[in-house]
Amino acid sequence: MHCHLVTVVWGTWHVDQYLNVNLPTLIASDNLPVFAKGGNVVYRIFTTEADRATLRAAPAFKTLESLLPVRFEIVAPSTVADPIEMHHRLWSKAIEEAGRAGCMVLFIPPDVIWSNGAFAHTGEVLDRGAKAMFMTYLRVISETSVPEVLRSAHRETDAGLALSPRELMEIGVRHVHPLMLVYLRDSKHFPIHPEFLMWTVPGEGVLLRLLARELFAFDPNRVKLSPQALPERITDWSEIHLVTDSDELFALSLAPLWKDTDWYLERSKFDPLEVARWWLIYDSPVNDYLVQRPLRFHTGIEREDLWRRAERASAFCVQQLRATREIVRVSRELAHIGCQHAATLASVAAAKTWFVRRTMARLPLTIFAPSDEAIAGLSAGTLDDLLRPRHREKLVRLLRRHIVAGSLNLPSLRKRRARVEARDLDGNRIEVDASQSPIRVNGFAVQPAERSLRNIDIHVIDGTLAESLATEGTATE
């Protein structure tokens, strides 16, 4: 295994956390001492000239240097207006250089406390052939958790501090940060950046579902990142590993009590539509892989039935979220290709959980979207009627009439000049005739523009497949 470990650290607070608890837990017996023996490992630290001197003077750092090569790169963060931008720039540089060296890259934040065995497990995962590894942290209050860690940890020789995953989790539970608690599904202060959702398992721990997550370790030559630092594509899913049990690898992420209060001070409940919109900003093919795998943070599992109950509740929530995300994606794509009326109808439906549950949970799908001209040709007032809350069942029937479960693969039908019969989501017959040009669906021409999303094919047609439904009189209230 060839690996570059990377830490970006400067400033009094971060250097203090790194030297007080991060580095001492890194050099614990089953962490870097084991990991560094597994291959060609180099530790790269990006810091300032002044902070380098502080780091090198620490006893724990001398132990670190005895375990593996440590290379400093001096930075000048004061020359950059946005320190976050500087961090991203340095991470990108580290990724590029690891790629050129043919190495994995593994990020070690300076404000994290590691369980003993975390890096022994990481080494095992990478040795088994993983090219991308994900994990996440329990966020805790630094002012109260660090003193307890220093009191409770097993002090090893050479300045190491050791805590088992369950010992560290017990401390985490006592000092959990508000920034963590607001991610509970029933939180009254749900955050504006919903990277994950959380459910409590009484007396035992918490269960998480990750919506989006940066990589912990990966091979830059196998995994390319998007501008959001998420994987753009995955060619071999067997090379992905997600840590799903805190017994395997666990860490606490430190934050001052008042950090990022603007994320959650405003009262706001979990809203599937808002979360779905956020999720699309951080879109990645790996997100569905992550969110389908529940993570268990625990101090010991005694009641498997409680965990199963939380997994079922979280799975139902995830299904709703994924379906909502896909209809938002469809709505945006319809607007992009000029089907504004269909996009409006889809947007209204996206806000209705009853439509999401009944329609978008069965991927893949084929959608036949009426053109704006086709919808405009309906009787006067039809579109406005469909948008009224009292006509929601009418809207659902109209939309479901234009959706087929599964991919019909019209390009393939065109090549074979085939004629097929399909069924919409309510079982009504749809005839697709590709023996002529253009292809016709129930007699309506399919326009040349085709859009293929990840699990959804969109085809624009010059008519509506439920015209009689769309033009029927207003329902009696």
Dihedral Cα 354, 358, 362, 367, nearest 10 deg: -100
CA atoms 183, 184, 185, 186: torsion sign: negative
**At 250, is the pLDDT very low, low, confident or very high (cuts 50, 70, 90)?**
very high
Q: How much is the pLDDT for 76?
A: 85
**At 469, is the pLDDT very low, low, confident or very high (cuts 50, 70, 90)?**
very low
Q: What is the pTM of this model?
A: 0.89
Asked if residue 476 has pLDDT above 60, the reply is no
Q: How much is the pLDDT for 80?
A: 60
Q: How much is the pLDDT for 472?
A: 46
The whole-angstrom separation of Cα 267 and Cα 335 is 32
In DSSP notation, 162-188 reads E--HHHHHHHHHHTB-HHHHTTBTT-S
3-state secondary structure of 45: strand
The whole-angstrom separation of Cα 133 and Cα 252 is 18
Per-residue model confidence as pLDDT tens digits over 38-85:
779 999 999 999 999 999 999 999 999 999 999 999 998 776 667 788
The whole-angstrom separation of Cα 140 and Cα 132 is 26
The whole-angstrom separation of Cα 466 and Cα 387 is 16
Cβ atoms of residues 146 and 285 within 8 Å:
no
The two tokens of residue 343 are 């996009």
3-state secondary structure of 338: coil
Q: Choose between 259 and 103: higher pLDDT.
A: 103
Residue 269 CB: number of other CB atoms within 10 A? 11
The whole-angstrom separation of Cα 318 and Cα 135 is 19
Q: How much is the pLDDT for 388?
A: 79
pLDDT > 90 in the chain, percent: 71
Asked if residue 171 has pLDDT above 60, the reply is yes
Q: How much is the pLDDT for 81?
A: 65
Least confident of 69-78, 102-111, 279-288, 350-359: 350-359
pLDDT > 70 in the chain, percent: 95
R_g of the chain computed on alpha carbons: 27
Average pLDDT rounded to a whole number, residues 217-229: 94
Asked if residue 211 has pLDDT above 50, the reply is yes
Asked if residue 474 has pLDDT above 50, the reply is no
CA atoms 346, 351, 352, 358: torsion sign: positive
**At 379, is the pLDDT very low, low, confident or very high (cuts 50, 70, 90)?**
low
Cβ atoms of residues 204 and 300 within 8 Å:
yes
Strand-pair category, 161-162 with 154-155: antiparallel
Q: Which of 165, 159, 153, 167 is CA-nearest to residue 117?
A: 165
Asked if residue 234 has pLDDT above 70, the reply is yes
Q: How much is the pLDDT for 361?
A: 67
Half-sphere exposure of 168 (CA within 13 A, CB side): 30
Average pLDDT rounded to a whole number, residues 355-365: 74
The whole-angstrom separation of Cα 149 and Cα 168 is 8
Measuring CA to CA, how many Å separate 126 from each of 120, 212, 257? Answer: 10, 21, 35
Q: Choose between 156 and 90: higher pLDDT.
A: 90
The two tokens of residue 323 are 């379906």
Q: How many residues does the chain have?
A: 477
3-state helix, strand, coil in the chain (%, to 5): 45, 25, 35
Per-residue model confidence as pLDDT tens digits over 17-32:
999 999 999 999 999 9
**At 364, is the pLDDT very low, low, confident or very high (cuts 50, 70, 90)?**
confident
Mean pLDDT of the chain: 90
Asked if residue 475 has pLDDT above 60, the reply is no
The whole-angstrom separation of Cα 132 and Cα 327 is 29
